[in-house]
Amino acid sequence: MITMKIRPSSLYTGPKWLTWSLLIIIIFLISCFIYMIYLYIDLKDSKTAGYEETKQQLLKANTLTDISKVETFHGDEAYHVVFGTDDQQDKIIFYPLEGKEKNLTTVNQSEIISKDAIINEWEQQCSDCELVKVTPALVEDNKLWELTYIDASNRYVLDYVSIYDGSRYEQYRLKSMFN
């Protein structure tokens, strides 16, 4: 009597194409995930590009002694909006990004309506709205607050009010084409 022992060559007896397909899909998904992380970091860095150079220029020129925050405003021209202190006064400086000569626009914070006061006034006027951000703005040499929000009609609104008295300068309401 002849007996044969059959040994399985592997524990998995499914088709090899399925294994390779799953492996390729997993590698592709991991590659996409790594690329998304890289893009996120790159976009985040480009958003704050030039902030350190602007800070160094203002500190070097003794325009400010301490800088607490830098933001960006894009209007007709792009500006870094620098919040800082000089001679014990809080100031906001609009630092233009274009051109070799920098004509700085300076605002003493003691002379303006505070950001919190503008937000409180806006909340009373637009209770069903969702605030996105509030940024100092410089439009045609007018110093303004730019209030960005979504109103009750689901429109994206850019509202420009005077930084000194809160009066409206201009307003844009953008309606979404795709809901």
* Span 144-173, average pLDDT: 92
Q: Three-state SS string across the chain, please? A: CCCCCCCCCCCCCCCHHHHHHHHHHHHHHHHHHHHHHHHHHHHHHHHCCCHHHHHHHHHHCCCCCEEEEEEEEECCCEEEEEEEEECCEEEEEEEECCCCCCCCEEEEHHHCCCHHHHHHHHHHHCCCCEEEEEEEEEECCEEEEEEEEECCCCCEEEEEEECCCCCEEEEEEECCCCC
Sorting pLDDT into bands at 50, 70 and 90, what band is 83?
very high
- Residue 177 predicted with pLDDT over 60: yes
Whether the model pTM is above 0.85: no
* Span 115-122, average pLDDT: 92
Distance between CA atoms of residues 73 and 55, nearest Å: 16
Sorting pLDDT into bands at 50, 70 and 90, what band is 52?
confident
- Residue 63 predicted with pLDDT over 60: yes
- Domain formed by 115-174, architecture: Roll (3.10)
- Residue 7 predicted with pLDDT over 90: no
